[in-house]
Amino acid sequence: MIVTGATNGIGEAAAIELARRGAHVGIVARNPRKSDATVAKIASAAPEAPVDVFIGDLALMSEVRKVAAELLDRYERIDVLVNNAGIQLRRQQATSEGLPEMVAVNYLAPWLLTSLLRERLVASAPARVVVTASEAHRVGWSVDTDRILTDISPFGRAGVMSAYGKSKLLDVLFTFELAERLHGTGVAANCGCPGLVATGLAGTGNAADRVARALSRTPLVRRPEQGARVLVRLATDPEFATRTGAFISSTPLAGIMPMIPAARDVALRRRLWEETESLLAT
């Protein structure tokens, strides 16, 4: 089971729990020092569990390709891919490849990594792709597929949550379209919201993290171990071995809140897929 963003917060908690349940875990991380600390935590929780580390900056598509090549070289089969790495920036930033960084990490990286590992996942079926989405996709409302993947214009303080929400809406649309494209292969694709967790998104000091820390002593905020339950459930629960194209949420209102119209827009998600495929030339 491969987990990206596995050296912090819910990604680390999920990796530890999956190892505790007997999985051979491959963690993808940017920082070797932090990955060493995570490996030590896994070893403490599950001494017999094998763990591999793959270092790469998922903001860069060249690094995503490098990590994918290393994963394919290391593993003859891949049972679960957990696309968890994510950031929320306070201001727009462009990567050295000229892409909007938040969109690159939150959406383009999981799209590309999944695409590069797709044949191995299908060959390993039954297999699963899990994506960390968010209820914040609701404030994204919709996306302009002609602009969002390459737009590096400032989104301003007032637009921070909207920009983050749009990046998570991209994840939801990606998951739903991926599920359809993988229909009949034995690979399930699902996404979930871990709720408000008192931990940083890749250490960016973002607005959501500040709110979470302010409320950290209340029942509204989850510990990383609690937030990770959604990912672990999607990765291991027998229900999600065959159920695909789902968004599940651990927030209190999840059972009564319908998906927003954009998330149900089949034409939108297909346009997004085509634009992404063209941009990344996979």
Catalytic residues: 164
Return d(Cα 104, Cα 111) in angstroms, integer.
Answer: 10
DSSP 154: -
DSSP 91: S
**What are the residues whose beta carbons fall under 8 Å from the beta carbon of 177, sequence distance 6 or more?**
269, 270, 272, 273
Q: Is residue 47 classed exposed, middle or buried when 0-12, 13-18 and 19+ CB atoms within 10 A define those classes?
A: exposed
Cβ neighbours around 104 below 10 Å, total: 25
**What are the residues whose beta carbons fall under 8 Å from the beta carbon of 117, sequence distance 6 or more?**
68, 71, 72, 78, 81
**What are the beta bridge partners of residue 277?**
none
Q: Extract the runs of DSSP E, i.e. beta strands, from the chain.
A: 2-4, 25-29, 51-55, 80-83, 127-132, 187-193, 246-249
Cβ neighbours around 73 below 10 Å, total: 8
Return d(Cα 227, Cα 265) in angstroms, integer.
Answer: 28
Cβ neighbours around 172 below 10 Å, total: 24
